[in-house]
Amino acid sequence: MATAKKPGGQQAAVANANQGTWIVWVVIGVMVLCCVGIGVFNRNGGGDDVLPPTSQERGDTVPILQRSSASQGICYGWVLRDFYRYTDLSVGSNLGDGIAVEENAACPRWVQVVAQVAYTSESSESNDFARITVETSDDISTTARYRMQSGLERLGLTEDAFVDEPGWAVTRAAVSLPLLAAEAGVVEPAPTPAAATADAPPLPDAGSDLWRDRWGYLLAAVGLLLFTALLFAAGFWQRGRQRRKEAERQGRTKDVRAAGRTPEGR
């Protein structure tokens, strides 16, 4: 006779199956959250690697912008921004390092280059990229703004340049803005410094310069000539003395030979 299954056993089996299913879904959810978190972290990671301009680059850029702003009557600046975090890594203008021209009461007319650079992790399939725009005050037309923006690429300031050296590229783009603004008709070209019209001072007397600047060399040359002449004189004197001695010796030899031929000497 077959033994009947207990209802309590069936409930326990169902409870165990439900518990196992719940554990599986919890594990799957944790794995999905981990994958999403890793993806977000990798996407935002590397933002600190966007290098801002060095202190020397910023220090060299500000005076150039100051001269251009003073001659053209418009403010120039730059902004380097992390694309993912949307944080400004470097801001500067003709007003100084760290001072922006946008919404600045001291700059009613302004032009600035804004570079947004994004670095992705090595495990990501996305490539590093940069977005470069030229922003201006409202009184400057959109056409002029696009002309200045396209002019940056013509000067070699492409997206690749900003990805490779963002700090150098953004300051280089900033000092190029005065030229691009003049080409776009936004401002008049910066005036060229006038050549000096004063008469050149007369050249100093050649003779006086020769004796005044080279007297040491002349004295040395004269000394060498005198020393050479002295050596020649000493050589001639010594040579003459040797010849006289040889002549006297030859004279005495002849006298001896002549004396040997006389009858007394035979």
User: For residue 189, what pLDDT is reported?
Assistant: 80
CB < 8 Å & 24+ apart, contacts of 85-93: 85/44, 85/47, 87/47, 89/50, 89/52, 90/52, 90/53, 90/58, 90/167, 90/170, 92/53, 92/58, 92/61, 92/62, 92/171, 92/174, 93/62, 93/65
User: For residue 57, what pLDDT is reported?
Assistant: 96
Domain match, 75 and 158 both:
yes
User: For residue 211, what pLDDT is reported?
Assistant: 53
User: For residue 225, what pLDDT is reported?
Assistant: 76
Domain match, 54 and 178 both:
yes
Domains of the chain: total: 2
User: For residue 85, what pLDDT is reported?
Assistant: 84
User: For residue 101, what pLDDT is reported?
Assistant: 96
Strands 75-82 and 87-93: antiparallel
User: For residue 261, what pLDDT is reported?
Assistant: 58
Domain match, 139 and 216 both:
no
Entry pTM: 0.56
Could you tell me if residue 115 is inside a domain? yes
Domain match, 56 and 179 both:
yes
Domain match, 154 and 82 both:
yes
Could you tell me if residue 5 is inside a domain? no
pLDDT below 50 — which residues of the chain? Answer: 1-2, 4-6, 35-36, 38-48, 193-198, 206, 209, 265-266
Domain match, 59 and 124 both:
yes
Buried b (16+ CB within 10 A) or exposed e, 62-82: beebbebbeebebbbbbbbbb
